[in-house]
Amino acid sequence: MFNDKPYSETNREERFFCFLFVHSLLMSRQFRSDIAQLVSSKLSIPLDPDAFEAYVEVAALRDYWNDLGNPVAYTVETHAKRRQVLELVLGEFDLPANTLDEHDLFWTSAQRGKLWSPSRWSIEGLNQAGLNDLIKVRWAFNAKPDILILSHSTMMLIEAKLESSEGRAEGTGYRQYEIQKVIARLWQLLIPEFSRRTLHATTLEVKPQNGISWQEVVSLARETDIDAFSRECLLRLQRYYIGQ
The per-residue pLDDT string of the chain (244 residues; one tens digit each, 9 = 90 and over) reads: 999 999 988 999 999 999 999 999 999 999 999 999 999 999 999 999 999 999 999 999 999 999 999 888 999 999 999 999 999 999 999 999 999 999 999 999 988 989 999 999 999 999 999 999 999 999 999 999 999 999 999 999 999 999 876 655 555 666 777 889 999 999 999 999 999 999 999 999 998 888 999 999 999 999 899 999 999 999 999 988 865 4
At 92 the pLDDT is 96
At 168 the pLDDT is 59
Contacts of 147 (CB under 8 A, 6+ apart): 18, 21, 22, 54, 55, 56, 58, 157, 158, 160, 204
At 110 the pLDDT is 87
Cα-based angle 206, 210, 212 (whole degrees, multiple of 5): 45
Nearest residue to 200 via CA among 18, 58, 39, 38: 39
Contact 145, 155 (CB under 8 A): no
Report CA-CA distances (Å) from 234 to 13, 51, 65, 216, 244: 12, 24, 35, 11, 18
